[in-house]
Amino acid sequence: MKIRLKFDREFHLVDPGFKSKRKRYFLQSFFASVALFFILLFEGSITDGAIIAGIAGSAALIFFAPHSYASETRRVMGGHSIAILISALTSFVFGLIFPDTQEVSLVFLYLYSSISLGLLIVFMGILNCEHAPAAGCLLGLTLGGVTFGNASFVFLAALTLSIIRILMSRWIDNLI
The whole-number pLDDT of residue 105 equals 77
The whole-number pLDDT of residue 107 equals 83
The whole-number pLDDT of residue 3 equals 54
The whole-number pLDDT of residue 5 equals 54
What stretches of the chain show up as alpha helix (H) in DSSP? 18-43, 49-64, 73-97, 106-126, 134-144, 148-168
CA atoms within 13 A on the CB side of 90: 25
Domain locations in the chain as residue ranges = 21-168
Which residues of the chain fall short of a pLDDT of 50? 1
pLDDT in tens, 92-127: 998 888 777 666 778 888 888 999 999 999 999 999
